[in-house]
Chain A
Amino acid sequence: MSDVTVEAMEGKVVTNQLPTGAIVGESPLHHSDLASIAEKGPQQGGVHFHERKLKGLLTLRCTPSVEQLSLIESLLGVALPMQPLTSVTADAISVRWMSPDEWLIIVDGEQAFELETRFQEKFSGHYALVNISGGTTIFEVSGSHVVDMLKKSTPVDLHASEFPVGKVVSTVFAKSGATICRLADEKFELVVRRSFADYLWLWIQDASREYGLVVKA
């Protein structure tokens, strides 16, 4: 426990989950050595794959009142997306609607502890804010055939008329699950479980084979 910083505030305990010192954080796809594949592998293809590794992910659960909503906005810098299946993407922070009383907050890995501490200090009422960074990783898939690849993996309708930029869905993906957000016409973000990351990486390689897979560092 010596590498862990704990700050206690009136019964709330916030733990910095990032190791300090000589311990280097490893993403769930560390063993795949994506950096080498990006350098030596194919540079052209229909599907581009990039792991946005070691991000800070926080789950917020509450049914916010009007005052709480404005406090959340001031703490996060962006307003909570209240409409179902919507999201907010800003430079340093993005927020995904997960269910009527649940949101996923994505920040840089180093900022999660700071945001969590600030939130627990200022926020009150009936709510829960949990750091889930350690259990998840984020894949970013893009390219001219990315929709074709995703169609093999999920039953969700991905046509632009049904799935516009900014929409976010939690759904089944391959034989696992993922939270899919459309970042651009041909760019998607998949938030996946850490334990399924390797399986989904293998799945995406297989599903992308006919289009050509390009790994981005």
Chain B
Amino acid sequence: MFHIYCPHCCEYREEEEFHASGQAHIPRPLDPDACTDKEWGEFMYFRANPRGIHHELWVHGAGCRKYFNITRNTHTYEILEVYKVGEKPSVVANEAK
């Protein structure tokens, strides 16, 4: 059971109020028509599945219904950072993508 800090409500809430919405920071191609099938397919369907630090999009579904980002260690389940959409994470994995 996670105890998650909502940056909009500014307090910790139980995990059952939240939903994970997958990997964060996926930029939509600016010109979809110019994409190859491979580029578009990777944007649509292919997600990182790292062992370690991962940036995820979560929504406070039962609370304020706002989206925000969580940096989480998928190995230890530790939540390292919570930050709003549009902000940059301060905790990032050491190795390049």
B62 and A171 contact, CB distance less than 8 A: yes
* Given A84-B8, A85-B9, A85-B10, A99 and B17 contact (CB-CB distance below 8 Å): no
Contact call A171/B8, Cβ cutoff below 8 A: no
Q: State in angstroms the CA–CA spacing of A171 and B16 once bound together.
A: 9
What is the distance, in angstroms, from A122's C-beta to the closest C-beta of chain B?
Answer: 27
A132 to B16, CA, bound (A): 26
Q: Give CA–CA (A179, B9) in the complex, Å.
A: 13
Number of A-B contacts (CB under 8 A): 39
Interface size on A, residues (CB 8 A): 13
Q: What's the interface size class on B, roughly?
A: 10 to 19
Name B84's closest neighbour in chain A (CB-CB).
A100
Jot down 29 A-B pairs with beta carbons below 8 A, ordered by A: A84-B9, A84-B10, A84-B11, A85-B10, A85-B11, A98-B64, A99-B63, A99-B64, A99-B65, A99-B66, A100-B8, A100-B64, A100-B66, A102-B64, A155-B13, A155-B16, A155-B17, A156-B13, A156-B14, A170-B62, A171-B13, A171-B17, A171-B62, A171-B63, A172-B14, A172-B16, A172-B17, A172-B62, A177-B62
